[in-house]
Amino acid sequence: MAWKTLDDMDLDGKNVLIRVDVNVPVENGKVTDTTRLDRISPTVLEVLSKGGRPILLSHFGRPTRGFDLSMSTQQVVPALSQVLNRRVHFASSCIGQTAREAVDTLPDGDVLLLENTRFHAGEKNNDRGFAKDLAALGDVFVSDTFSTAHRAHASVAALATLLPSCAGRLMEEELKALTNSLSEPERPVLAVVGGAKVSSKLVLLKNLIGPMDKIVIGGGMANTFLAAQGHQVGQSLCEHDLQDTAREILAEAEAANCEIILPVDVVVAREFKEFAENKVRAADDCPRDTMILDAGPDSVENICNKLEDVKTVIWNGPLGAFEIPPFNTATDAVALKVAEMTEDGQILSVAGGGDTVAALKKSGAAESFSYISTAGGAFLEWMEGKTLPGVAALDDTK
């Protein structure tokens, strides 16, 4: 696949429809985290600097029955205006006469934000008629929402086929990071896959065996693998019914020459709570009345050794119950090692999906990673090898 970027488009004097993700957390009417707004700002400002008139489209929340004030994009206007340092106008509908008038009267140099696309049933149905109504407002379409690219929604997928389209800077960054870490990585490439359950990461694990040279399996997931190897895991989170699947994965990996790295020692406790009394035990020696809550120091050392010759790291999921100290220790130590190697220019490191960003931020390592994806579900689906409708729609090779 290949994508046009802002460099390929003539934006001067054009109405530029930009699909963004302004679905930010709001408390008492105030935006509490502007990360998503910060990330779309380069695209919007570049469109302005090239003489374009930015018309922003976004969803907000998951409305089920049309208009819902609590999910209006209007509440984002003040924060967006502050982040962009531009006047942001608002249209109370994303289609029809109201939207048309707002577009026609938008002063040059200002930005227009349209109302929540999900207030229309056509959005979720990827309805071509609704997409045509959106397309009527613009001359060019810029998709800057990798985080919703896994959804076949009208403003993400169908719209891209109706106007000259390209990827925005954030989308471009995400696609580059994922291509460089998963599709065309510099080798050897190592994946860290952690988190709670094997069942939620089965497709992902199977898809990684081919492209990866090494896979570190950690967190609760690793317990299922330890049990599959005949080890006692006591009260640990473990999907005993997936032991056959775990053995299949190990066999597939061996056949594909992909090294699976499991914990060699573990941190066990009797209770799942902060600062619970804990002990380090060998991975095959978890007492019956305890649970594994983290990887042990030898496991960390082993993982760090395995990282030594690696050129690329892709990371999803924590190595332990990172929310309750001290069971964040292994995640933090490995994350800091990856951060240090990244800073030294030894590796490219990409992380994303679910709790990963929170875990890496907590460790203080996130800042030094080459790329932290803002996308949750879309990042995981890409790692699972799925075609994302919002990316496929931008494919320029068709």
What is the smallest separation between the CB atom of 235 and ligand AMP, expressed in angstroms? Answer: 10
Q: Which of 219, 220, 317, 354 is catalytic?
A: 354
Question: Looking at 26-34, 55-63, 196-204, 205-213, which segment touches ligand AMP (CB under 6 A)?
Answer: 196-204
Calculate helix-pair angle for 243-255, 202-209, nearest 10 degrees: 10
What is the smallest separation between the CB atom of 315 and ligand AMP, expressed in angstroms? Answer: 11
In a 13 Å sphere around the CA of 353, the CA atoms on its Cβ side amount to 24
Which burial class, exposed, middle or buried, applies to 169 when counting CB atoms under 10 A from its CB (0-12, 13-18, 19+)? buried
Count of residues near ligand AMP by CB under 6 A? 17
Question: Looking at 34-42, 145-153, 240-248, 313-321, which segment touches ligand AMP (CB under 6 A)?
Answer: 313-321
What is the smallest separation between the CB atom of 369 and ligand AMP, expressed in angstroms? Answer: 16
Place of tokens 């954030």: 170
- Please give the Cα distance from 382 to 398 (Å, whole number): 20
Q: For 219, list phi and psi in degrees, rounded to 5.
A: 70, -160
What is the smallest separation between the CB atom of 329 and ligand AMP, expressed in angstroms? Answer: 12
Q: Is 220 in the site for ligand AMP (CB under 6 A)?
A: yes
Q: Is 354 in the site for ligand AMP (CB under 6 A)?
A: yes
- Please give the Cα distance from 267 to 320 (Å, whole number): 9
Which residue's Cβ lies closest to ligand AMP?
Answer: 195
Compute CA 348 distance to the chain's CA centroid, rounded to the nearest angstrom.
17
Choose, by CB under 6 A, the member of 196, 300, 307, 334 that binds ligand AMP: 196
Choose, by CB under 6 A, the member of 318, 352, 389, 390 that binds ligand AMP: 318
Q: Is 320 in the site for ligand AMP (CB under 6 A)?
A: yes
Q: Which of 50, 100, 197, 386 is catalytic?
A: 197
Question: Looking at 62-70, 142-150, 190-198, 363-371, which segment touches ligand AMP (CB under 6 A)?
Answer: 190-198
Quote the tokens at residue 194. 């952690």
Choose, by CB under 6 A, the member of 111, 140, 292, 307 that binds ligand AMP: 292
Q: Is 200 in the site for ligand AMP (CB under 6 A)?
A: yes
State the DSSP string of 316-372: ES-SS-TTSTTTTHHHHHHHHHHHHHHHTTS-EEEE-STTHHHHHHHHT-GGGSSEE
User: 3-state DSSP call for residue 314?
Assistant: strand
Q: Is 263 in the site for ligand AMP (CB under 6 A)?
A: no
Q: Is 321 in the site for ligand AMP (CB under 6 A)?
A: yes
Q: What radius of gyration, in Å, describes the C-alpha atoms of the chain?
A: 23
Q: Is 144 in the site for ligand AMP (CB under 6 A)?
A: no
Is 197 annotated as catalytic? yes
111 versus 338: smaller Cβ distance to ligand AMP: 338
Cβ atoms of 191 and 216 closer than 8 Å: yes
What is the smallest separation between the CB atom of 269 and ligand AMP, expressed in angstroms? Answer: 10
Q: For 248, list phi and psi in degrees, rounded to 5.
A: -60, -45
Q: Which of 51, 376, 377, 385 is catalytic?
A: 377
Q: Is 293 in the site for ligand AMP (CB under 6 A)?
A: yes
- Please give the Cα distance from 15 to 12 (Å, whole number): 9
Q: For 76, list phi and psi in degrees, rounded to 5.
A: -90, -15
Beta-sheet pairing, 111-114 with 53-57: parallel
Is 354 annotated as catalytic? yes
Q: Is 355 in the site for ligand AMP (CB under 6 A)?
A: yes
Q: Is 237 in the site for ligand AMP (CB under 6 A)?
A: yes
Catalytic residues: 36, 197, 354, 377
Q: Which residues bind ligand AMP (CB under 6 A)?
A: 195-197, 200, 219-220, 237, 292-293, 317-318, 320-323, 354-355
